[in-house]
Amino acid sequence: MKPAFQATSKLGFGCMRLPLTDPQDQTSIDLEQFKDMVDAFIAGGGTYFDTAFVYHEGASETALRSALVERYPRDAFTLATKCLAWAAPDARTAKGNLAISLDRLGVDYVDFYLLHNVGGARTAKFDAYGMWDFVRQEKAAGRIRNWGFSMHDGAEALDALLTAHPDADFVQLQANYLDWDDPVVESRRCMEVAWKHDVPVVIMEPARGGRLADLPARVAEPLLACRPDLSLVSWAYRFCYNLPNVLTVLSGMSTADQVRQNVAECRANAPFAPEEQRALDEACRVLSSMASIPCTNCRYCVKDCPESVVIPEIMGLLNLELMTENRDFTKGLYSWQAAPGPASKCVACGACEAMCPQGIDIIHQLEVAADHFE
């Protein structure tokens, strides 16, 4: 394993949801509180800090310079940042992100550099801008120690990317027990693809944006009955910590108390005992039973849709709303996951229902989604 990988803590500090002095201003990071969080993380053995060019409108990187880089020796931590090339207007701008990130962070190199949110139609921009060769060149120049990419796409897309770019040092994927067998997110299958290619994984969304820390009572019941001494979120992190081929598991922490709790639970991590695994299996069974739309992501429905509505993704979000019993949370996901083809674009032509092997009343479900999320 590479030296940078050996120095990587199993718990990673995600710097996307940092504390603010003004909730309406994403750049108003509470620097003193953030310093306390950094100190608690490092004191607990943490090393991996994850940010991005766009997090907090760039303020996440500058805050890391003040709270971390200027206060600790460079070999005490590893830094990851990302380039959202598909949102850049041209290749020059996209490639220029790295120099800006290095300046904001106050470092000569980053340990981990990611092409941010590759997958779907977005991949074409990374290809057109020559970003794959760019990260290779920057690694050779020493400004990047390891390069990879993050993605929210299926296993087939991941397999194609890792086949096309076998020299990727790592990949960042969404994985958690809620999405493990989800037919759209395909957490299990994506992890298996990474294992097949022998590429280490940085896990994001281990607690599904905090939803697995605040479960419906009937889902939480078997977990609390088995281990009343454990927090609900600890089950989510342990699920990820003990998967094979995991480099680090990111937690988007917002308070020093969250840092201390997560660090303590990470240090106490152990594989699930048989009775714990049974409790988690039961919680997952209850979660699955709460979903009512039998979509399998076969994608027959989208082939002839005249408005390119992202039907499987929307069906998955409707099921997620039922499972988490949290419409606001799901609405936030809908705002970007359904952006390419929202439910309200449906013209009720019926082409999707004629193709659906599960006989789903898709038109009605799209009406429900538009009412709930738009």
Summarised one tens digit per residue, pLDDT across range 8-53 is 889 999 999 899 999 889 999 999 999 999 999 999 999 999 999 9
pLDDT of residue 305: 95
Give the pTM. Answer: 0.86
Q: How confident is the model at residue 54 (pLDDT cuts 50, 70, 90)?
A: very high
pLDDT of residue 183: 85
Q: How confident is the model at residue 269 (pLDDT cuts 50, 70, 90)?
A: very high
Which of the residue ranges 15-19, 112-116, 199-203 would you say has the lowest mean pLDDT?
15-19
Average pLDDT over residues 161-188: 94
Summarised one tens digit per residue, pLDDT across range 75-109 is 999 999 999 999 899 999 999 999 999 999 999 99
Distance CA 238, CA 3 (A): 25
- What residue ranges define each of the domains in the chain, with the CATH number in brackets? 3-280 (3.20.20.100), 300-373 (no CATH)
Q: How confident is the model at residue 191 (pLDDT cuts 50, 70, 90)?
A: very high
Average pLDDT over residues 200-204: 96
Q: How confident is the model at residue 123 (pLDDT cuts 50, 70, 90)?
A: very high
pLDDT of residue 273: 97
Neighbouring residues of 168: CB distance < 8 A, sequence distance ≥ 6:
147, 148, 149, 161, 162, 199
As a whole number, the mean pLDDT across the chain is 94
pLDDT of residue 184: 83
* Number of Cβ atoms within 10 Å of the Cβ of 216: 17
Summarised one tens digit per residue, pLDDT across range 290-325 is 878 888 888 889 988 999 999 999 999 999 999 888
